[in-house]
């Protein structure tokens, strides 16, 4: 019944992040998840070649030091394990992980070369193990060729480096370099190593370049995944020519599935969300910059990037909010909804996660309303019938008005008034108006049960007039509610005491609780 939500937080630049899903970009385009995947693969691939060691030491080259080979395998496996552990924390510095990955692969190539000393020297078949290492890197670590070249040079030079060191200290090893036959065999085999490293540079760069192309949306470059929901993905993006950062909401074609009806619902709702948002000019409605279809077939729209918290995260992180602040925020939501209602739009999915409390320039506690994906257009020339016939997801159970739950046909702006009362209730108490084990039971309570006044569910002071306003918004009979957002706006202004919560108090709160997002 609802678009899946996601928990967001803000980093020191004000960028929203989803901690479990964030893709931290590395210089040169190598991503944290690719490093983790490569090291994790190394943990499995490296010990699997112990079976080959057994054959080489006991069949092909009897007398080779098998125990030493086992020690080599254990040491490199431990190295991979140490760096794998380093990739696990969400706060791991991706830029520092990349040199660790390079070290792991070079150490593996160097160790294979050490094994080759005992398995034929400069003509050892183990030389081809380095080719495998280079190709594994190419398959698992997409990166720009300039960044990858140094790694492949290190891996490719490991064998001649080890053999050269051996020749410097061992007359027997030095003698191998003097034989014409040995040099020819070495050159014949080593050309495969060089070819593998060259091919690795090319393949790694091609995959990296394909990823970069996939992340180009119009005039924007996708930089960081902010979250996923039922309506697609949200990314932080950067305009190629301007310094402006933005948020891009997109639906990739492969995510739509094969069901024609489901694809139609998602795309129609997505297009309607963009069009509805573009109609509105209130400073408290999120601004839309662009809308379209990318070269890869992804449907997208570009909107302003918000600095702050959505109301759900705000309450979860800082607890219930004082009445004066709730009124201050409520007034701004009403300004956004007043314009939407005046143009004939009913949001139908007002909830804390769709309302953001932001810093905009020097303004703090600046509200932005977003996600008009379920908006109903009540203008005479609108066409909602097609979507209504196939769209059964009309809100979020915890904030759904009784008339929506009962399936009444003529849902109007008073449904948003009910949801807004639920939002104010949540801000004041940190609790939902009605809670139950299932969504269906929650909706039944919205239809039948009388709400407990918010003042009885919080230790903070709640003015009687605010209690009364919220309970009026939560009336089952929509005729008894305030009839539009403008009416609530006027009521909230009468309740809020002058100077009780203004920009001075808002800035002080941000400087105390979110100093990293404040301007100096």
Residues designated as active site:
349
Which pair of tokens denotes residue 493?
């202004």
Assess contact for 186 and 238: CB atoms under 8 A. no
Residue with tokens 């183990």: 126
Assess contact for 29 and 212: CB atoms under 8 A. yes
Assess contact for 288 and 370: CB atoms under 8 A. no
Q: Which of 42, 88, 51, 84 is nearest to 70 (CA)?
A: 51
Long-range pairs, 162-166, Cβ under 8 A, ≥24: 162/110, 162/113, 162/114, 162/116, 162/117, 163/113, 163/116, 163/117, 163/121, 163/122, 166/117, 166/121
Sheet strand arrangement including 220-229 = 216-217, 220-229, 232-239, 245-251, 299-304, 288-293
331 phi, psi to nearest 5 deg: -60, -40
> What torsion do the CA atoms of 152, 188, 57, 76 make, to the nearest 10 degrees?
0
Which DSSP string do the residues of 261-326 spell out, in sequence order?
A: HHHHHHHHHHHHHHHHHHH---TTBPPEEEEEE-TTS-EEEEEEPP-EEEHHHHHHHH-S--HHHH
Instruction: Give the CA count within 13 Å in the CB-facing half-sphere of 158.
Output: 32
Instruction: Annotate 473-487 with b (16+ C-beta within 10 A) or e (fewer).
Output: bbbbebeebbebbbe
Q: Please, what is the angle between helix 180-214 and helix 127-140, to 10°? A: 10
Q: Are strands 355-360 and 308-310 parallel, antiparallel or unpaired?
A: antiparallel
User: Distance between CA 376 and CA 458 in Å, rounded?
Assistant: 34
Query: CA of 136: how far to CAs of 46, 139, 148, 197, in Å?
Result: 11, 5, 13, 10
């Amino acid at each position: 019944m609802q678009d899946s939500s996601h928990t967001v937080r803000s980093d020191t630049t004000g960028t929203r992040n989803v901690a479990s899903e964030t893709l931290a970009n590395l210089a040169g385009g190598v991503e944290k998840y690719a490093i983790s995947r490569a090291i994790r693969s190394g943990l499995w691939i490296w010990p699997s070649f112990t079976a080959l060691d057994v054959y080489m030491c006991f069949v092909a080259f009897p007398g080779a030091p098998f125990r030493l080979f086992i020690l080599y395998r254990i040491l490199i496996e431990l190295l991979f394990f140490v760096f794998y552990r380093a990739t696990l924390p969400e706060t791991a510095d991706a830029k520092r992980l990349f040199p660790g990955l390079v070290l792991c692969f070079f150490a593996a190539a160097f160790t294979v070369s050490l094994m080759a000393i005992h398995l034929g020297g400069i003509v050892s078949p183990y030389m081809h193990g380095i080719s495998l290492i280079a190709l594994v890197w190419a398959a698992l670590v997409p990166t720009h060729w300039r960044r990858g070249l140094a790694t492949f040079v290190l891996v490719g030079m490991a064998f001649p480096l080890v053999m050269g060191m051996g020749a410097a200290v061992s007359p027997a090893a030095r003698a191998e370099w003097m034989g014409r036959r040995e040099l020819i065999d070495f050159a014949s085999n080593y050309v495969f190593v060089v070819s593998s490293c060259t091919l690795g540079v090319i393949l790694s760069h091609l995959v990296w370049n394909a990823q970069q192309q996939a992340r180009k949306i119009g005039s924007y470059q996708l930089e960081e995944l902010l979250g996923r929901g039922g309506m697609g993905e949200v990314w932080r993006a950067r305009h190629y020519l301007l310094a402006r950062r933005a948020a891009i909401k997109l639906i990739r074609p492969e995510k739509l599935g094969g069901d024609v009806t489901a694809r139609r619902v998602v795309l129609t709702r997505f297009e309607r969300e963009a069009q509805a948002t573009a109609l509105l000019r209130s400073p408290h409605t999120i601004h839309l910059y662009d809308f379209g279809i990318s070269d890869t077939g992804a449907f997208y729209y570009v909107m302003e990037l918000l600095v702050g918290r959505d109301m759900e995260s705000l309450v979860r992180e800082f607890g219930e909010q004082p009445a004066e602040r709730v009124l201050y925020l409520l007034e701004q939501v009403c300004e956004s909804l007043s314009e939407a209602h005046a143009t004939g739009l009913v949001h139908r999915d007002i909830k804390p996660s769709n309302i953001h409390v932001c810093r905009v320039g020097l303004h703090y506690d600046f509200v932005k309303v977003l996600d008009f994906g379920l908006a109903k257009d009540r203008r005479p020339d609108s066409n909602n019938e097609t979507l209504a016939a196939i769209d059964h997801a009309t809100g979020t159970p915890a904030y759904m008005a009784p008339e929506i739950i009962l399936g009444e046909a003529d849902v109007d702006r008073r449904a948003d008034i009910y949801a807004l009362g639920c939002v104010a209730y949540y801000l004041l108490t940190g609790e939902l108006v009605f809670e139950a084990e299932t969504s269906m039971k929650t909706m039944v309570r919205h239809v039948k049960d009388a709400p407990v006044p918010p003042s009885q569910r919080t230790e903070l002071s709640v003015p009687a007039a605010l209690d009364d306003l919220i309970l009026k918004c939560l009336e089952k009979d929509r005729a008894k509610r305030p009839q539009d957002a403008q009416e609530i706006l006027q009521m909230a202004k009468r309740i809020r005491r002058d100077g009780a919560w203004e920009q001075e108090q808002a800035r002080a709160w941000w400087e105390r609780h979110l100093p990293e997002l404040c301007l100096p």
